[in-house]
Chain A
């Protein structure tokens, strides 16, 4: 039986992919907690789509797609924050304008670079065979930055998420910290691009964190549980993808979704029992 677990490890691509999904689980779990608690799922979705032209350009230029995504993600995060600063353009509207435009730019780029059209699927859905050493180093560095930044700024980020007016009254630079949070979410997305792919990253940001919220009422515990659920779903999903020969990103996301529903149903069942037994 054990060979089901050990056999895939003979392959270098599988070793790299496993490390990549663990990075994804950690970064997305920690940042995803804020995505869930602040209701930023739409922003998260927007950022994942917005990095697409960066991915395409980097791919065409032959540099790591993570670098391209990082550059474009940072610009888009800043754009959303700046556009939504005024009262006339709501955050939702700013995001709607920017992310559709950025994704359209990506589509235009792909269509004008005829040679790359067959690679579009890989860019959108990820490819575990394609995790290079450079990708892994970049993803590891990005994960370390994202997790450390949240650890260091957690009390301020939590205060702003919970009570923005109080944070302003306490003279925190709320706008700058919003930018930092968006930038860190962009970083978590970049970490996930190779293994999970552009379209499905949002699930890694939202689903493990939502699962963790069901399990705990403490912020730091929630972040840790979300990271653990994300990493475990990533590993399990990759094995499923290896043995059943299905797309890795889809397998990982469906595993995370299955964990969410399992926890949800167990709690619903326990909740339904409680009033009659107690």
Chain B
């Protein structure tokens, strides 16, 4: 079915020992959508993305994904001094297509080059990744995720360390992916970015606080519930005030 959801999460609970990272989370991710995943530290955003990837096993409930998955990890790799170039890293996204024992095809090398160009890293393609700045490394990881050409792309805080041009280019890329019918889930701490750029927002705090268009999911009451504090309107932008700082 062409308009069946891309992924269905049903009553998903993930517990690490006695602690529940996710508690009975349910949602449907439609095709052709950019979904923002918002919530405080420890809200379970990374855990939810891992459950969608299948690298974290549900304690209870089910996760159904229709199509292939792509990923950008939050912390990224540890050893950036590894002797690989930006182009090599981007090409890793094509490894599963290439299959075991084979080198990626010429078409995949072209895809990797195109993805690096799309994130503005074409001129750095041949540089060893350890020589790149933190923001540039993040862009290389984004290029790798794009090369996966996945139906469901899971990006864990891809905008950490991004400058304004990168953010603009990133938003353009997301629009293109959505138009291709792909579903992109982006976890972020940037409320303004999420309300401007996402079709849907999932507000998470161990459980789903709100799920819907940004205007609904990111309203003051929901945010206060998710972050357990006060939400202050500063010139049209919602800002979280630390607890105890009541605006009278």
A155-B77 contact, Cβ under 8 Å, with A37-B83, A162-B82, A217-B128:
no
Contact B83 A163 (CB under 8 A): no
Q: Which residues of A lie under 8 Å from residue B84 when comparing CB positions?
A: 158, 162, 218-219
User: Using a Cβ cutoff of 8 Å, how many contacts connect chains A and B?
Assistant: 66
A37-B82, A162-B89 known; A155 vs B95 contact (CB < 8 Å): yes
How would you classify the secondary structure of chain A's contact residues: helix, strand, loop or mixed?
helix
Within 8 A of B (CB), among A200-235: 213, 216-219, 221-222
Interface string of B69-89 (1 = CB under 8 A from A): 101010111010011110011
Residues of A within 8 A of B98 (CB): 155
Binds B, one of A55-63, A103-111, A166-174: A166-174
A57 to B: closest C-beta gap in Å: 36
Q: Are B95 and A159 in contact (CB under 8 A)?
A: yes
Distance in angstroms between the alpha carbons of A158 and B84 in the assembled complex = 9
Residue picked from A163, A216, A221, A222, most chain B C-beta under 10 Å: A163
In the complex, chain B residues whose CB is within 8 Å of the CB of A141 = none
Do B96 and A163 touch (CB < 8 A)? no
How far is the CB of A35 from the nearest CB of chain B, in Å? 13
B35 to chain A, nearest CB (A): 18
CB of B55 within 8 A of chain A? yes
Report the bound CA distance from A38 to B33 in whole Å.
39
**Assembly CA distance A165 to B144 (angstroms):** 14
**Contact indicator A162/B71 (Cβ below 8 Å):** no
Q: Residue A178 at the B interface, CB < 8 A? A: no
Chain B residue numbers with a CB within 8 Å of A163 are 73, 76-77, 92
Complex-state Cα separation, A169 to B65, whole angstroms: 14
Nearest-Cβ distance from residue B53 to partner chain A, whole angstroms = 5
CB distance from A248 to the nearest CB of B (A): 31
Write the chain B residue with the least CB distance to A163.
Answer: B77
Chain B residues lying within 8 Å of A170, measured Cβ to Cβ, are: 71, 95-96, 148
Looking at the complex, which one of A159, A216, A222 makes contact with B92 (CB distance below 8 Å)? A159
Q: Which residue of A lies closest to B91 (CB)?
A: A155
> Does chain A have a CB within 8 A of B101?
yes
Residue of A nearest to B103 (CB): A155
A162 to B79 Cα, complex, angstroms: 6
B83 touches A168 (CB 8 A): no
Q: Does A270 contact B (CB under 8 A)?
A: no
User: What residue in chain B is nearest A165 (Cβ atoms)?
Assistant: B73
In the bound assembly, the distance between CA atoms of A122 and B24 in angstroms comes to 64
Interface presence of B54 (CB below 8 A)? yes
Complex Cα gap A171–B65 (Å): 14
Instruction: Determine if A219 and B54 form an interchain contact, defined as CB atoms under 8 angstroms apart.
Output: no
Instruction: Determine whether the beta carbon of A37 is less than 8 Å from that of B79.
Output: yes
Task: Report if A152 contacts B (CB, 8 A).
Answer: yes
Cα–Cα, bound, A159→B88 (Å): 10
- The answer to whether A97 has its CB under 8 Å from any CB of chain B is no
When A217-B83, A217-B85, A219-B84 are in contact, do A169 and B77 touch as well, CB less than 8 Å? no
Answer whether residue A91 sits at the interface, using C-beta atoms and an 8 A cutoff.
no
14 additional A-B residue pairs with CB within 8 Å, beyond A37-B79, A218-B83: A38-B79, A158-B84, A159-B92, A161-B82, A162-B89, A163-B76, A163-B77, A164-B77, A166-B92, A166-B144, A169-B50, A170-B95, A170-B148, A171-B96
A residues within 8 Å of B by Cβ? Answer: 37-38, 152-153, 155-156, 158-159, 161-166, 168-171, 213, 216-219, 221-222
- 4 smallest CB-CB distances across A and B, nearest first, come from A163-B77, A217-B128, A169-B71, A165-B73
Query: Would you give 16 A-B contacts (Cβ < 8 Å), ordered by A?
Result: A38-B79, A152-B101, A156-B100, A159-B92, A162-B79, A162-B92, A163-B76, A163-B77, A163-B92, A166-B77, A170-B95, A217-B83, A217-B85, A219-B88, A221-B83, A222-B83
